[in-house]
């Protein structure tokens, strides 16, 4: 059963930590295959119906005061951790793709409240509007029958090219240097199976990218927004309505290096 926008029943536990500066440098700043984080945060949340246990989103950053052009630069990574063997195969009735997208930049605030901390950043109306906009765009992919690769990745690319007006939302939401998307699961209806990517780690993050002209202190102020979707794979049966698309928002913030904090958000 798909969740309706704004109806998030789980309590999200956010645990935030800064990695001590004395930590051994096991990963170069310029190595995109790992992260030796100055600061890192983790947020646990529910993403049913496929996952019976909570998933944990990890987000962290490293910084270089003399990056490209000798200007400050940050290195950002994210990944998930979950139980690959504790899923609900009985709900698989169509081919579906599960993805996560993350945007970082041009957005500050304090994650708190519903929608996994996002309502505290921009209010509940923006969370509802953003989720409905993405659900509608994925639904249109399904019913038009035109070829597409991963649904969320396709829609994020479209919305970045032609940003919609979303009432109560930051106008610059889709205006970021990068908006990387990662496919982490495929539901297959023929045998009611799910193929999941292995959980990530700082030694094997799912996505890593660099943000120009961003210092570590500026990065600490940024709110990272993750969008999780469970949508129709290409060539699956056309959806009956957009509510069949599961969508979740998670907003997190890593601390300034050298500080620690933890809090709960509904």
CA-to-CA distance for 217 and 149, rounded, in angstroms?
37
Residues 79-137: tens digit of each pLDDT? 999 998 899 999 999 999 999 999 999 999 999 999 999 999 999 999 999 999 999 99
Is residue 23 one of the residues assigned to a domain?
yes
Q: Do the domain assignments include residue 4?
A: no
Which residue range forms the structural domain that includes residue 163?
12-261
- Note the pLDDT tens digit of each residue in 128-171: 999 999 999 999 999 998 899 999 999 999 999 999 999 999 99
Residue 151: Cβ within 10 Å count: 28
Full-model pTM: 0.88
Compute the half-sphere exposure of residue 84: CA atoms within 13 Å on the CB side of its CA: 12
The C-alpha atoms of residue 78 and residue 184 are separated, in whole angstroms, by: 12
Q: Tokens 């019913």 map to which residue?
A: 143
pLDDT of residue 247: 98
> Residue 67, by phi and psi: left (phi above 0), alpha (psi -120 to 50) or beta?
beta
Instruction: Report which DSSP code applies to 108.
Output: B
5 lies in some domain: no
Using DSSP's 3-state secondary structure scheme, residue 215 falls into coil
Residue 221 in domain: yes
Mean pLDDT of 201-225: 96
Q: What is the domain count for the chain?
A: 1
- H or E stretch including 124? helix 124-144
- In a domain, residue 195? The reply is yes
> What residue has token string 């809090």?
263
Hey, is 214 helix, strand or coil? Answer: coil
- Token pair 């992260």 is found at 35
Which of the four pLDDT bands, split at 50, 70 and 90, describes residue 16? very low
Strand partners, 55: 45
Query: How far is it, in rounded angstroms, from Cα 14 to Cα 56?
Result: 9
Give dist(CA 251, CA 111) in Å, integer.
Answer: 6
């Amino acid at each position: 059963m798909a969740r309706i926008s704004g109806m998030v029943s789980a309590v999200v536990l956010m645990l935030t930590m800064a990695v001590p500066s004395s930590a051994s440098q096991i990963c170069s700043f310029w190595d995109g295959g790992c992260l030796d984080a100055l600061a890192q945060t983790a947020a646990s949340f529910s993403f049913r119906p496929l996952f019976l246990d909570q998933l944990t989103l990890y987000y962290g950053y490293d910084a270089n005061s003399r990056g490209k052009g000798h200007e400050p630069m940050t290195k950002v990574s994210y990944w998930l951790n979950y139980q690959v063997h504790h899923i609900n195969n009985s709900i698989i009735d169509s081919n579906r793709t599960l993805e996560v997208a993350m945007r970082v930049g041009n957005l500050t605030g304090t994650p708190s409240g519903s929608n996994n901390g996002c309502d505290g950043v921009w209010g509940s109306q923006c969370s509802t509007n953003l989720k409905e906009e993405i659900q509608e765009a994925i639904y249109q992919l399904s019913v038009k029958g035109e070829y597409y690769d991963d649904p969320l990745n396709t829609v994020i690319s479209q919305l970045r090219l032609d940003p919609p007006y979303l009432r109560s939302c930051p106008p610059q939401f889709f205006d970021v240097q990068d908006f990387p998307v990662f496919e982490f699961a495929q539901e297959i209806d023929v045998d009611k199976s799910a193929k999941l990517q292995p959980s990530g780690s700082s030694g094997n993050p799912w996505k890593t990218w660099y943000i120009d002209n961003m210092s570590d202190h500026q990065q600490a102020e940024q709110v990272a927004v993750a969008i999780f979707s469970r949508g129709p794979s290409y060539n699956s049966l056309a959806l009956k309505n957009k509510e069949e698309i599961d969508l979740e928002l998670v907003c997190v913030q890593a601390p300034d290096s050298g500080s620690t904090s933890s809090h709960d958000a509904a």
